[in-house]
Amino acid sequence: MNAALRRSLGRAWVLALLVPGLVWADEVAESVPAPLAPVSVQALEAEAEATAAAATSSVPWYQHIKQAARAYGVDVHLLQAVVAVESNFDANAVSRSGAIGLMQIMPATAAGYIGLRGTSQSLRLQLQDPSINVHAGALYLRDLLDTFSSRVDLALAAYNAGSGNVRKAGNRVPKNGETPQFVSKVTSLYSSLKAAAQSAEAKAANAVKASEEAVLSPGQPVFAPQ
């Protein structure tokens, strides 16, 4: 999907969040009870996966972060790291420069780039909605990743300082201001979150393998053959 089409679809998605009573397809799917099944390898796999996901799903606003990451093809751990560094998961955070919400988005960016409409006050209220804020920020970050050839460091620098300043620095992280520290904090946390998730996945895989072996391997005879 090219950047222009992704941006168009992303704008429609973010604006759709403003429609009262909107139900996400994922939420509909999750609300349908799973059919009962006998204990099997598949059931053991599902249990192991649920255990591995438990720590991650307890992160504040994780469902919004996961949906936005999936929608725009941004690594969920990267998006989570940006939210953590930008606002420490405070949906009501407002910076001295006027950036708002979980991903600290400026109302001008929301109006000009994302396409949100309204007065200054209504834009601020919209950006305090975690779902709108995270989707808007993820869409913006996705576009920056496309702009800078998937260079995470440059996309983060542009998210913090603007694309123009990254260009002026020769397509490098600008050395002045808070940007180098921001990029360092986010990339460090991103690496830690990704490593922790990979460790959890490995443990889950080992648990599944052990469960499969316990279910499929024949039992030992009680008496040795004569």
Q: Which residues are catalytic?
A: 86
Residue carrying the six token digits 């260009």 = 167
| Contact status, residue 166 vs residue 174, Cβ threshold 8 Å | yes
How many whole angstroms separate alpha carbon 207 and alpha carbon 201?
A: 10
Q: Mind giving me the DSSP string for 110-131?
A: IIIII---S-HHHHHHHHTSHH
Strand partners, 94: 100
| Contact status, residue 115 vs residue 15, Cβ threshold 8 Å | yes
CA nearest neighbour of 67 among 83, 54, 58, 79: 79
How many whole angstroms separate alpha carbon 208 and alpha carbon 80?
A: 27
Helix runs in the chain, H state only: 3-16, 25-31, 41-57, 62-72, 76-87, 107-109, 120-127, 130-147, 152-161, 163-168, 179-216
